[in-house]
Structure 1
């Protein structure tokens, strides 16, 4: 019975826990290529934070320079 079930399941592509397990015909499938993305996934967010930080430092420097003059 187990032998019959294993023979019937041979060659089937299965999706288990989010993974697609290959079938017996994997060598005939088209190769999928995913181009590499940017190294840092949140580059725009990091750039915005860096700009904000530099603006705050510039404002603080102007504020400190103004208090020194008075």
Structure 2
């Protein structure tokens, strides 16, 4: 018979799985842009390969995430 700690662990694992799934759904998909939609600079091929569907260079993405968090 599971005790409270086992049940808490099950809930924690479910919440973590849900959070990971939500993050994956929020990730861009499709073909990456070759040029950043904000500054027009070329997006390096390594970034386009690592982050399919990216639309911003790393500098603009960092700024976007920083200002969104505020």
Question: Is TM (by shorter chain) over 0.5?
Answer: no
Specify which structure has the higher proportion of strand. 1
Report which of the two structures shows the higher radius of gyration computed on alpha carbons.
1
Bigger RCO of structures 1 and 2 (CA < 8 A, at least 6 apart): 2
User: TM-score with structure 2 length normalisation?
Assistant: 0.32
